[in-house]
């Protein structure tokens, strides 16, 4: 039986899989914890391995973790642990690594995850939801993107980076949990479910999905319910004169940029961008790889108005 859950919506689970999870805002940030809880409630075997503190904007930096002498973010671990990695002893799926986001993903994939999975490797890597958007020009600097790129390229694990436009930092134990944190968790869970249901291989090689959620406008009652959001296939960087065609969809062979998608206000707004990223250079992947993703996400994706 599934654990009791605060989430309004739980996908009809096809199968639980082994998921490694990271972020760059820190292991004790609420967005990553809400998503973790959602994946657990949906029946996935998920393990979090994330930086001990906020390491936003650290791109693909990766150095060996070093002993920690101060408390973790929001006092989430004791000072003077003198340990390079640590965990929540009562919830050992929750782990911190005293280094950069990519390092925490690497440890999660190589060491921490397999300890939970009888030595098996993760089947999917997810990152975030990041606190704040990771669109186009910010993509190369994002640690959240860095972890997904590392997982997909260096480790060969299909990977998805999630980011939410609504900002404001929240400790893991914020009570009650603000709406934006559960909405982003549920949306990310919907995409994971869709990708898993479409079967293996979950994504083409050397590809990660860069997913950006628009603002949850609680005061206006806009984009507050997962049913109000719409998913659109996008590209990361605007096409230049030398860019090849994109996959043919929505009556064109040029995808909208992710910035265009999340800023779209017509048709009720609340559009989510899903870009197929090339893990070799953090730009938009080829139309052939876009096509694989388009087919996998059929039924979920829609067109801009
Ligand atoms: C992390 O730090 C960056 C700046 O370095 C800041 O913009 C961001 O809001 C912080 N995030 C969290 C979750 O504290
Ligand atoms: C550790 O896990 C316990 C039990 O799930 C929870 O009550 C506590 O808030 C967690 N602390 C951190 C820092 O994760």
Output the pLDDT for position 9. 59
Residue with the smallest CA separation from ligand 1 atom 6 is: 56
Q: Residue 231: which of 187, 199, 197, 193 has the closest Cα? A: 187
Rounded CA gap, 174 and 281, in Å?
Answer: 37
Rounded CA gap, 117 and 109, in Å?
Answer: 11
The pTM score is 0.96
Asked whether the beta carbons of 113 and 17 are under 8 A apart, the reply is no
- Atom nearest to 27 CA in ligand 2: 14
Output the pLDDT for position 10. 61
Cβ of residue 133 lying under 6 Å from some atom of ligand 1:
no
Output the pLDDT for position 15. 73
Q: Read off the pLDDT of residues 127-173 as tens digits, 9 standing for 90 and up.
A: 999 999 999 999 999 999 999 999 999 999 999 999 999 999 999 99
Residue 35's φ and ψ, nearest 5 degrees, are -65, -40
- Which parts of the chain sit beneath pLDDT 70? 1-14
Question: Regarding the domain delimited by 4-296, which CATH topology (the fold level of the hierarchy) does it fall under?
Answer: Stationary-phase Survival Protein Sure Homolog; Chain: A, (3.40.1210)
**Domain ranges, ordered by start, for the chain:** 4-296
CA distances from 19 to 93, 120, 276 (A): 11, 11, 20
Cα(232) to centroid(ligand 2), Å: 36
């Amino acid at each position: 039986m599934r654990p009791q859950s605060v989430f309004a919506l739980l996908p009809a689970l096809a199968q639980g899989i082994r998921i490694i999870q990271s972020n760059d805002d820190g292991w004790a940030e609420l967005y990553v914890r809400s998503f973790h809880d959602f994946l657990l409630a949906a029946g996935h075997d998920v393990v979090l391995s994330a930086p001990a503190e906020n390491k936003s904007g650290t791109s693909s930096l990766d150095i060996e973790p070093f002993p920690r002498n101060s408390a973790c973010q929001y006092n989430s671990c004791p000072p003077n642990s003198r340990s390079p990695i640590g965990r929540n002893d009562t919830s050992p799926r929750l782990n911190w690594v005293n280094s950069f986001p990519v390092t925490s993903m690497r440890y999660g994939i190589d060491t921490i995850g397999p300890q939970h999975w009888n030595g098996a490797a993760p089947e999917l890597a997810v990152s975030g939801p990041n606190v704040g958007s990771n669109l186009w020009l910010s993509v190369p600097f994002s640690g959240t993107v860095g972890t997904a790129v590392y997982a997909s390229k260096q480790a060969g694990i299909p990977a998805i980076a999630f980011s939410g436009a609504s900002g404001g930092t929240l400790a893991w134990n914020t009570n009650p949990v603000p709406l934006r944190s559960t909405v982003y968790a549920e949306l990310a869970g919907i995409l994971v479910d869709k990708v898993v249901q479409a079967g293996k291989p979950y994504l083409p090689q050397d590809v990660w999905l860069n997913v950006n959620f628009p603002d949850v406008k609680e005061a206006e009652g806009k984009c507050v319910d997962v049913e109000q959001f719409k998913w659109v296939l996008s590209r990361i960087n605007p096409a230049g004169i030398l860019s090849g065609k994109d996959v043919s969809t929505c009556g064109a062979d040029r995808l909208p940029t992710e910035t265009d998608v999340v800023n779209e206000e017509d048709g009720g707004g609340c559009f989510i961008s899903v870009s197929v990223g090339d893990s070799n250079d953090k730009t938009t992947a080829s139309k052939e790889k876009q096509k694989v993703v388009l087919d996998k996400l059929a039924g979920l994706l829609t067109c801009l108005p």
